[in-house]
Structure 1
Amino acid sequence: GLERGAKNQFSTFSDFITTINQKKEGTGNRSPPAQLIPNIKNVRDLPPICLDVRQKQRVSVETLPQQLKAPIPPEPSLPIRTKTVKDFQDDVEKAKSSGDWKAVHDFYSTSFDSFLEINAAFKKDANFPFNTIEDSGINAKFVNVVYDALLNTPQDVQKSVLKGIINGLLQEWKGPRTKDDLRAYCILLQNPQFSNTSTYVIYAHLLRQIAALTEADHHFLVHWSKKIAQRRFKQLVDRLLQFISLRLFPAKPEEFPPMMKCTWWIPSATKVLALFNAANSLSSPSIISYTDFYNSTLDHIDLMEEYHNWQCYGNSHRFSFCQYPFIISIAAKKVIIQRDSEQQMISIARQSLVDKVSRRQKPDMNMLFLNVKVRRTHLVSDSLDELARKRADLKKKLKVTFVGEAGLDMGGLTKEWFLLLIRQIFHPDYGMFTYHKDSHCHWFSSFKCDNYSEFRLVGALMGLAVYNSITLDIRFPPCCYKKLLSPPIVPCDHNTLVGICDVALEDLIQVMPELAHGLSELLAYEGNVEEDFYSTFQVFQEEFGVIKSYNLKPNGDKIPVTNQNRKEYVQLYVDFLLNKSIYKQFAAFYFGFHSVCASYALLLLRPEEVEILVCGSPELDMSALQRSTQYEGYQKTDLTIRYFWDVVLGFSLDLQKKLLHFATGSDRVPVGGMADLNFKISKSETSTDWLPVAHTCFNQLCLPPYKNKKELKQKLIIGISNAEGFGLE
């Protein structure tokens, strides 16, 4: 790597910059250059990446408490720069009209010549320290204007910026970074030139230095990044993702140094991406969707090797993408979970086979499966008994048999078993779950009972659905999945509480919006809360027609709710509703789920991703469904089929969801997309007076050969709008 010292010691870089400046301009020099930096592989390495670049914790980055401040070295005096946004824009307009870019060139070459000059140009007030996380002190508008104009300047201007960045990165490091240094890093990261692969060597060194900063410095960068505008924030994330993708799978490998010489590129970029992920997570609402951090390129690498490396080496100095799960797509995580479960299934099945042989018993192929035999008339009780007796087999491939019925389970019987069980257990009369119409979701009944085994069954069903790629039509609020991962690994100590997580009023809104609205009004009330509401830290619930009272804290019935303690009251009430009042029910549900899904792969998942694995994605793409649909008795060019897709593609989203629910038993899409539905349209030989029929167990729609589009649309809407329950046949 490069030795640290004064600029004039770096003869290699000096020669390199000379080469850049002497290169003749091509025609059309105002367009973004295809190759800004020739012979980039000759650049000598900067100091090696610090060990803490490879993340110590699994989740993104550990942001420090706000009160923690890094030691603040004295800031050097900044040169006085008086150019304003308008001055700069005027200079650019004059240069465009006259062709004389000297003033613009001078501004860029001076402003980016060093970290000191970057601060002089873009700091809001040169005399103010800006040493807090609340305000970076960066004149964001000026930075944006300067960068927006940069790619439309002549190449010699653009090269002068890169030359200045190189100079800044090569300056001697003297102890802790100052806040001016952090500001410079924050500004340089936004440089649009780094979207060009010819600048990747410089970009990589910038990322390396940022990744090697202390956690206290990262803390500042995370909070400053929260203030970046959404569009530009996403551009920064996309640029980092592209950098990782092109380093993994370069279109032109000769553009980059050999992978063996720059193994630090991807870890550095991923660590910096983790800072943006942390900023996004700390923002409420988040700046961009968590899915915008997915890198689909990783779907094509050896994910199981990544997973096993992570399992073997944990969060040691050996890099694995599994240390940064936010970058792994839900599709890739599903592959990891399924392959991990398959390996566990194979291991268990192999052990069963060995045990049989050792006892000189004849092997039975059924021992390789979790065989569930149930009577339709005793569906829940039989299912409970079967899963309780066969706990050791829960990770095997599931096969279902209905007693007294012939037929092999090729997937249809398994899906039917899931659908019928869910339909029965979640029925309001069954009493296990309460359906809240305002939020369109189910929540656990708080009624006390002697046996919570049926809640364990529901948890096991969800786990089996994940392992057997079955999408369930279950509507739980998001906080349910947050609780399901609290903790993601079942604790060894049986006294440890499970399914308890931090909840807030925002979580209650997703379950009981009317009650949450009332509590919000209590918090905003401007009058005397104690005198006007006359409430205490005691709440009441109806259980089987009997009103029962519960204290939210010791002697709560004697503690009035006041203006001073109302926040505590609301927090305790929300915690009571979503955690304490249903603890036994949810604990049974938690253990049921983890009895099937116990795996370190769960550490990779966000609560939202668990929901998608269980229930599917709400994002519909009917054109994708059309492309993947199979036909029986029809050809895709038949008039009836063309009518069908013309009608369906013209449906509202609500009708499209009804169609999907009618045909498959769920209005959601599996993780793998519409193609994973294996949707089939079969020709029905019945009269065209009949409505369409669906076999939800096989994702099959039976469609009579209607004579015209109007008739097909009318019959289809009637059919999908009036199907009872799951439309199961």
Structure 2
Amino acid sequence: MMCKTFASSFSSFCTSIHFQKEIAFFSFQCERRPLDMLSSLLRQALPPRLHSRRSTASATTPSSSSASTPMLPKQPSHSTTPTPSIPHRRRRRRHRNTELPPIAPDATKAETLSAYAPHSEEGSEKNAGNPPAAKQTPSMHLIKARQLKYLSEIEPETLREMFYVGKSSSQWKEMKEYCLTIFESFNNMVAIFKVKDLGTSYLSSDCILRKEMLDVTYDLITELPSEIQRLILKSIVNCLLTDRRTSSTDSLRAYYILLLNPMFDSTQTFGIFAHLLRQVASLTDQEHHYLVHWIKELQSTEFKSIINRLNSFITWKMFPNRPQDLPHPSKCTWWVPSAVKVMALFNAANNLVRPHIVPFEDFYNNSLERCDLLSEYYKWQNVYSHGGFSFCQYPFILSIGAKRSILQRDSEQQMIVMARKSLVDNVQKRQLPDIGMLFLNLKVRRSNLVSDSLNEIASKQSELKKKLKVTFAGEPGLDMGGLTKEWFLLLIRQIFDPDYGMFTFDKKAGVYWFSSAPCTNYQEFRLVGVLMGLAVYNSIMLDIRFPACCYKKLLSPAVVPYNNPKMPVGVAQLTLQDLQLVHPDIANGLKELLEYEGDVQEDFGLTFQVSYTELGCVKTHPLKTNGENIFVTNSNRGGYVQLYVDWILNKSVYEMFKEFYHGFHSVCASNALIMLRPEEVEMLVCGCPTLDLNELKAVATYDGYTSLDVTIKYFWDVVLKFPLEFQKKLLLFTTGSDRVPIGGTADMTFKITKVDDTSLLPMSHTCFNQLVLPTYKNKKTLRAKLLTAIQNAEGFGLE
């Protein structure tokens, strides 16, 4: 009766979402009958011949499974004292002694019996005068060990044959027993999948699993009948209940095996998956360290599938289609934090590998953009007052759109605070409020763009966190965003001109880098930093082609040190791969030095110093103390290369980059920067690197036109055939910037307005991303007029 109760309760458990109640019931049953879960396996433990002997023996003496139970003394038959008995327990023992098939089909009867035969005859000689005792049955541990040994020696091809035989005959007995044995316990999982004959090249902390066998097993499990899959899930639950308190390297391997289980892709298994994630998340730091190093060995497809599974679980919990299917919120508050913490292990593993196993964008969960992100941000900032979990603690899961939203809303809050402060100051000074005090107003001349901009910014340092508005001297125009875009564009174009001397341009790398030539005024580098900060702060895209290491340095550290002006800033740990993106020729030369097979000292004659040209003169600089007298050899060339890279990317441009760093952070002084990767900062500054006008066509709206009008058809036929250079000029003409927002052109607004005067050239309102297009009668005229407009659009034509 108890078996039926157990089975029915567990069946309801597998179909129930309310995991908590079922856990308590299942734990109670397991405590009462912990060995009943093995009954299906024990029925295969002994050959049939041994069953009859065991049955005969059980009629006279207790079985070996109860040998350790204290036996009550026998009472004389004439005694009036009733003989105590345990009929229920005896019935259970007899039930376990029913006929069982052999462990392995290919095991002979003699081999099976010899395993349980006595090893000496001394016992029989000593008991020659005593009545014959019943033969002892084999121990359950020995049966289990033999069965595990057999299963652990199965090869992938044998398992596939077993599966196809079961599929063709609809007899799944062998596959069922194999799968249930695996997930019966953590020890079974490891015993079956562990590599045999390790040798001396493995450490105890290595994963050492038969990955091919594990992959084949999981591939076949997903194709088994649903009733067998439910039994497997039941076994997994039993493992999580009974083995959760164990702490060993083998237990870690079992957790690793379970994390790879594709059965957890189904939302119906998410309740069990949540408990697995909770146990993995609660492991110690040392155990997490092992897991991370095992995870980094996964193939990219498998790695990505697990990341997708975790993200699906988080989305399902955060935004359920049927909230009533979930447990009470108070009972599953730990579901999402556990999943995110496990995902952090995968993120750490991904960051250890170069190149990354998967792109960092694969960790993004775009559904989180629907959350109250500012609330998450403030919760993270005020951990002592709010406490608890916040997604901002794990920024790898937040998309660049979510981070941009946080940064923009944080910037808006700072703008409001600055505007309110200005208003209060004016009131205290008894001055009339002026709308201009709410903005950072810059008035510049086109003929003196850099100097005027530098002077305006230097005189208004306290107002940099206000909304930016630009006015060009001598030109009418109200800045609704278009003039600001033009100011950024013209200023960047002039500052980054190689003839201006602030930056050098490498044609092979296609990027700008800081000039190491001596400079008497570093304030212009601070201006460039302010420009980048204002662009991010005001959501403006810039065409600045810096290498990736520039943004690494810009986040080193991500927050300006407080009250410590002497602390180095903008210094990052950079490698030869970073130098490859700045000066590929120098990087290739250093790489050849590292790979040279001859005598480096004899053939190159290098010392620990670097030579460079300054104002036409060749100068040298020691890379270390007394470096000019230390030769580069085969043994120290690695250190030489690292010092060379550090000098070029850090030390030689330190003063310039320090001003650039402080300029950027004078505007973007926000803790939200801590959440950003260097690649994400680049995207915030420069926008999306790709331009697809087909996406722009899909989001275009029309005023006076429809998408079926002939002029509109002419327009899209012409611009889609433009080369990329002219497509960017069209984007610049219409929006004031040739850069695409982070979400791509699909996130832009683009409006085409009709005008009947065909003598006019196309016009634009860059503040509103609006193109005014006359109704030209043919495609040739439209193309000629449009090219004339976009190639002569600076200044007067932009509003």
TM-score for both structures, normalised by structure 2: 0.79
Q: Please, which of 32, 39, 43 is the counterpart of residue 22 of structure 2?
A: 43
What is aligned with 1:555? 626
Map Cα deviations across residues 387-426 of structure 1 (whole Å, 9 max, x no partner).
Answer: 1111111111011111222221111111111111111111
CA distance in 2, matches of 1:133, 1:680: 65
Residue pair 1:309, 1:320 contacting (<8 A) in 2 also = yes
Map Cα deviations across residues 68-111 of structure 1 (whole Å, 9 max, x no partner).
Answer: xxxxxxxx989312211011100111111111111111111111
What is aligned with 2:422? 352
1:467 matched to 2:467: no
1:117 matched to 2:188: yes
Residue pair 1:122, 1:142 contacting (<8 A) in 2 also = yes
Residue pair 1:618, 1:667 contacting (<8 A) in 2 also = no
Corresponding letter in the other structure for 2:552: K
What is aligned with 2:42? none
What is aligned with 2:509? 439
Extract unaligned runs of 5+ from structure 1: 1-10, 24-34, 48-75
Map Cα deviations across residues 568-591 of structure 1 (whole Å, 9 max, x no partner).
Answer: 111111111110000010000000
What is aligned with 1:299? 369
User: Cα gap change, 1:369/1:242 in structure 2, threshold over 3 Å: closer, same or farther?
Assistant: same
User: Cα gap change, 1:128/1:705 in structure 2, threshold over 3 Å: closer, same or farther?
Assistant: farther
CA distance in 1, matches of 2:552, 2:172: 56
Corresponding letter in the other structure for 1:350: R
What is aligned with 1:587? 658
What is aligned with 1:264? 334
1:153 matched to 2:233: no
CA distance in 2, matches of 1:620, 1:138: 46
- Percent sequence identity over aligned pairs: 53
Map Cα deviations across residues 443-487 of structure 1 (whole Å, 9 max, x no partner).
Answer: 111111121000000100001001111100110000000000000
Q: Please, which of 116, 123, 139 is the counterpart of residue 210 of structure 2?
A: 139
What is aligned with 1:399? 469
- Partner of 2:23, secondary structure, is coil
Extract unaligned runs of 5+ from structure 2: 28-143
Corresponding letter in the other structure for 2:623: L
User: Shift of the alpha carbon at 1:364?
Assistant: 1.1
User: Shift of the alpha carbon at 1:228?
Assistant: 1.0
- Partner of 1:542, secondary structure, is strand
Q: Please, which of 156, 178, 198 is the counterpart of residue 85 of structure 1?
A: 156
Alignment RMSD (CA, Å): 3.1
Q: Which has the higher contact order (CA 8 A, sep 6+)?
A: 1
User: Shift of the alpha carbon at 1:112?
Assistant: 1.1
What is aligned with 2:645? 574
CA distance in 2, matches of 1:667, 1:126: 62
1:407-422 matches, within 5 Å, as 407-422=477-492
User: Shift of the alpha carbon at 1:684?
Assistant: 7.3
What is aligned with 1:309? 379
Residue pair 1:663, 1:727 contacting (<8 A) in 2 also = no
What is aligned with 1:98? 169
Corresponding letter in the other structure for 2:662: F
CA distance in 1, matches of 2:482, 2:21: 61
Corresponding letter in the other structure for 1:147: Y
CA distance in 2, matches of 1:392, 1:643: 50
CA distance in 2, matches of 1:133, 1:412: 64
What is aligned with 2:94? none
Bigger radius of gyration among the two: 2
CA distance in 1, matches of 2:612, 2:251: 57
What is aligned with 2:600? 529
What is aligned with 1:5? none
What is aligned with 2:521? 451
Map Cα deviations across residues 220-261 of structure 1 (whole Å, 9 max, x no partner).
Answer: 111111111111110100000111111111111122212211
Map Cα deviations across residues 252-286 of structure 1 (whole Å, 9 max, x no partner).
Answer: 11222122111111110000000000111111100
CA distance in 2, matches of 1:702, 1:262: 56
CA distance in 2, matches of 1:221, 1:130: 19
Map Cα deviations across residues 664-715 of structure 1 (whole Å, 9 max, x no partner).
Answer: 4655321243255433445577879x99777767645565656556776798
User: Shift of the alpha carbon at 1:629?
Assistant: 2.1
What is aligned with 1:324? 394
1:597 matched to 2:597: no
User: Cα gap change, 1:717/1:574 in structure 2, threshold over 3 Å: closer, same or farther?
Assistant: farther
Q: Please, which of 398, 420, 430 is the counterpart of residue 500 of structure 2?
A: 430
CA distance in 2, matches of 1:133, 1:552: 42
- Partner of 1:97, secondary structure, is helix
User: Cα gap change, 1:577/1:151 in structure 2, threshold over 3 Å: closer, same or farther?
Assistant: same
User: Shift of the alpha carbon at 1:726?
Assistant: 11
CA distance in 1, matches of 2:658, 2:553: 10
User: Cα gap change, 1:16/1:459 in structure 2, threshold over 3 Å: closer, same or farther?
Assistant: farther
CA distance in 1, matches of 2:780, 2:302: 48
CA distance in 1, matches of 2:467, 2:455: 18
Residue pair 1:670, 1:676 contacting (<8 A) in 2 also = yes
Name whichever of 83-92 and 540-549 sits farther off: 540-549
What is aligned with 1:189? 259
Residue pair 1:436, 1:512 contacting (<8 A) in 2 also = yes
What is aligned with 2:39? none
CA distance in 2, matches of 1:574, 1:219: 31
Count, aligned residues: 676
CA distance in 2, matches of 1:298, 1:428: 43
What is aligned with 2:699? 628
User: Cα gap change, 1:151/1:667 in structure 2, threshold over 3 Å: closer, same or farther?
Assistant: farther
